[in-house]
């Protein structure tokens, strides 16, 4: 089947996607501005420049409450009957299991939070599972993922065990970061999860650096087969941040193997995307920097997966970055501390009806990819996994005082030389955590 091509994502009818002719050494003419792809699954045709719906979006600010109406009108899509199956049975079951894991885990987090097992800021991913599953299940272990504070499910999709994530949330020493990171700082060296960042936008340069490493390995260190890709996940609010734009520029400039994934859930805590952004169509910002910008329905895991395949393959081939805007929605508030009173119940209901898990389930049934029993078995299995994770986390020990001063420096001589002439890290009190450094 022909690879999905990214249709024109030009800001204006006369601007070609290629910024200079020099880039047409690309073998695969994937982004031909003149070709509107029939197999492309994103909704860019609806949001194309000449569409009347676009004008509604941009005028949203002037009409009270109509932003929500405009959004739901634009975003509503009828599910198309898909002629070729996009996934095999195994793939389908893998996707389903991953999304169920994400959902069950986050629901359990909410329970545990209200029971006082975890504290602080906890940001749940309910509703956005299609984005994480759609992208990350396509990655290899050596590929990297960078996320924000809403990172539990990205870590789980990448392969970090549920036990490790739950323990981390409980602040136990068996957590993936030894309890030192918490909800917003999930890291895994083994699975190449590079965080977990509390400030929005600050993970994007780190992701750019990981992509730079990949290119460096190939071109300077001579590892010609190094084609590791990095996926950077962040939200609509971040798309107005300077670091986003600076990294789009650098990634496109040096053709770094990175995919910028915008999880546009329309709300940055209580700030509607339409109230914060002069041009709310984030995908358009890609071509401004010389990379394809793609918009995709983020509530549909199969569509996300198709776009993701293309973007990741593009990066692997060395053709550079892609900006993917996934239109999605979070069913819960921004965090467990957010009363979520600002969003219109009609909007929430609209998206609840487009639950990605239900959609995939329906697809699998309709196309005879799985039976009710098989899916139920998966759900049961995941329930057990999550229960086990909680049990494990509960039984795990809290960090000892001796852990306090470890890991501040990779080389603990960085604590310096004490008055007695010895390195501070040699002080026995250092390993007890009571040394004065």
Handedness of CA 134, 11, 209, 22 (dihedral sign): positive
Joined tokens for residue 95: 């996707």
CB-based contacts of 264: which residues, under 8 Å, 6+ apart?
Answer: 235, 236, 239, 273, 282, 298, 325, 326, 327, 328
- Tell which one of 99, 112, 136, 177 touches other proteins (CB under 8 A): 177
Phi, psi of 250 (to 5 degrees): -65, -40
Q: What part of residues 371-410 is at the interface with other proteins (CB under 8 A)? A: 406-410
CB-based contacts of 144: which residues, under 8 Å, 6+ apart?
Answer: 192, 193, 194, 207, 210, 211, 228, 229, 230, 231
Q: Which stretch binds other proteins (CB under 8 A): 12-20, 250-258, 335-343, 371-379?
A: 250-258
Please say which residue, 383 or 426, places its beta carbon nearer to other proteins: 426
DSSP letter assigned to residue 23: G
Is residue 434 a contact residue for other proteins (CB under 8 A)? no
- Tell which one of 422, 429, 432, 434 touches other proteins (CB under 8 A): 422
In whole angstroms, the minimum distance from the beta carbon of 204 to other proteins comes to: 7
In angstroms, the CA 232 to CA 207 distance is 6
Please say which residue, 128 or 192, places its beta carbon nearer to other proteins: 192
Q: Which stretch binds other proteins (CB under 8 A): 187-195, 261-269, 290-298, 384-392?
A: 187-195
| E strand or H helix at 432 | helix 428-432
Size of the site for other proteins (CB under 8 A): 66
Is residue 365 a contact residue for other proteins (CB under 8 A)? no
Q: Which stretch binds other proteins (CB under 8 A): 91-99, 113-121, 212-220, 374-382?
A: 212-220
Please say which residue, 204 or 266, places its beta carbon nearer to other proteins: 204
Is residue 161 a contact residue for other proteins (CB under 8 A)? no
- Tell which one of 180, 240, 335, 396 touches other proteins (CB under 8 A): 180
Please say which residue, 228 or 305, places its beta carbon nearer to other proteins: 228
Q: Three-class SS of residue 50?
A: coil
In whole angstroms, the minimum distance from the beta carbon of 389 to other proteins comes to: 18
C-alpha dist (Å) from residue 43 to 186, 188, 211: 32, 34, 28
Nearest to 283 by CA among 273, 291, 275: 291
In angstroms, the CA 162 to CA 344 distance is 33
Is residue 411 a contact residue for other proteins (CB under 8 A)? yes
Is residue 215 a contact residue for other proteins (CB under 8 A)? yes
Q: Three-class SS of residue 232?
A: strand
Cis ω on the peptide bond leading into residue 386 (within 30° of 0)?
no
- Tell which one of 189, 278, 368, 428 touches other proteins (CB under 8 A): 189
Is residue 160 a contact residue for other proteins (CB under 8 A)? no
- Tell which one of 188, 264, 335, 396 touches other proteins (CB under 8 A): 188
Burial readout 303-320 (b: 16 or more C-beta within 10 A, e: otherwise):
bbbbbbbbbbbbbeeebb
Is residue 252 a contact residue for other proteins (CB under 8 A)? no
In whole angstroms, the minimum distance from the beta carbon of 148 to other proteins comes to: 13
C-alpha dist (Å) from residue 373 to 98, 357, 367: 17, 16, 15
Helices 89-114 and 162-170: crossing angle in degrees, nearest 10, is: 20
In whole angstroms, the minimum distance from the beta carbon of 218 to other proteins comes to: 10
- Tell which one of 32, 94, 246, 374 touches other proteins (CB under 8 A): 246
Joined tokens for residue 135: 């992208």
Q: Which stretch binds other proteins (CB under 8 A): 32-40, 89-97, 241-249, 318-326?
A: 241-249
The single residue listed with the structure tokens 């600010």 is: 61
Is residue 316 a contact residue for other proteins (CB under 8 A)? no
Please say which residue, 377 or 437, places its beta carbon nearer to other proteins: 437
Is residue 67 a contact residue for other proteins (CB under 8 A)? no
Residue 323: count of CB within 10 angstroms of its CB: 29
Residue 136: count of CB within 10 angstroms of its CB: 25
Q: Which stretch binds other proteins (CB under 8 A): 5-13, 127-135, 296-304, 414-422?
A: 414-422
In whole angstroms, the minimum distance from the beta carbon of 173 to other proteins comes to: 9
In whole angstroms, the minimum distance from the beta carbon of 394 to other proteins comes to: 20
Q: Which stretch binds other proteins (CB under 8 A): 125-133, 244-252, 318-326, 427-435?
A: 244-252
Please say which residue, 90 or 225, places its beta carbon nearer to other proteins: 225
Is residue 233 a contact residue for other proteins (CB under 8 A)? no
Residue 320 near residue 288 (C-beta atoms within 8 A): no
Site residues (CB under 8 A) for other proteins? Answer: 144, 146, 175-182, 185, 187-189, 194-199, 202, 204-217, 219-221, 242-243, 246-247, 249-250, 253-254, 406-411, 413-424, 426, 437
């Amino acid at each position: 089947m022909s690879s999905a091509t990214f249709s024109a994502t030009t800001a204006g009818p006369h601007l070609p996607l290629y910024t200079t002719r020099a880039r047409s050494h690309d073998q695969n003419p994937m982004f031909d501005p003149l070709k509107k792809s029939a197999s492309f699954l994103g909704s860019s045709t609806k949001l194309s420049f000449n569409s009347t719906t676009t004008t509604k979006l941009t005028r949203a600010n002037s009409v009270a409450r109509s932003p929500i109406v405009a959004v739901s009108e634009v975003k509503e899509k009828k599910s198309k009957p898909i002629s070729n199956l996009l996934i095999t049975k195994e793939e389908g079951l893998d996707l389903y299991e991953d999304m169920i894991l994400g959902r069950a885990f986050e629901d359990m987090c909410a329970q545990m939070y209200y029971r006082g097992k975890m504290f602080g800021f906890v940001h749940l991913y309910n509703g956005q599972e299609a984005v994480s599953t759609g992208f990350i299940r396509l990655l290899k272990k050596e590929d990297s993922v960078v996320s924000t504070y809403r990172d539990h499910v990205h870590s789980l999709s990448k392969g970090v065990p549920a036990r490790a994530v739950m323990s981390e949330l409980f602040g136990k020493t068996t957590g993936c970061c030894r309890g030192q990171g918490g909800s917003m700082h999930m890291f895994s060296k083994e699975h190449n999860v590079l965080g977990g960042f509390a400030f929005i936008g600050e993970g994007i340069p780190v992701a750019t650096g990981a992509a730079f490493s990949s290119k460096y390995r190939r071109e300077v260190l001579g590892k010609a087969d190094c084609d590791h890709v990095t996926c950077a996940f962040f939200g609509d609010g971040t798309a107005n941040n300077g670091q986003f734009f600076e990294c789009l520029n650098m990634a496109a400039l040096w053709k770094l193997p990175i995919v910028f994934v915008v999880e546009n859930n329309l709300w940055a805590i209580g700030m509607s995307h339409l109230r914060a952004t002069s041009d709310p169509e984030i995908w358009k910002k890609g071509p401004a920097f010389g990379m394809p910008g793609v918009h995709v329905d983020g509530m549909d895991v199969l569509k996300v997966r198709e776009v993701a395949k293309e973007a990741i393959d593009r990066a692997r081939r060395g053709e550079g970055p892609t900006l993917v805007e996934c239109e999605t929605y979070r069913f819960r508030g921004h965090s467990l501390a957010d009363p979520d009173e600002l969003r219109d119940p009609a909007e929430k209901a609209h998206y609840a009806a487009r639950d990605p898990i239900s959609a995939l389930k329906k697809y699998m049934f309709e196309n005879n990819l799985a039976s009710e029993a098989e899916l139920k078995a998966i759900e049961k299995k995941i329930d057990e996994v999550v229960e086990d994770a909680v049990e494990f986390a509960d039984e795990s020990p809290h960090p000892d005082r001796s852990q306090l001063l470890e890991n501040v420096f990779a080389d603990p001589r960085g604590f310096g030389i004490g008055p007695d002439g010895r390195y501070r890290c040699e002080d026995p009190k250092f390993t007890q955590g009571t040394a004065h450094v």
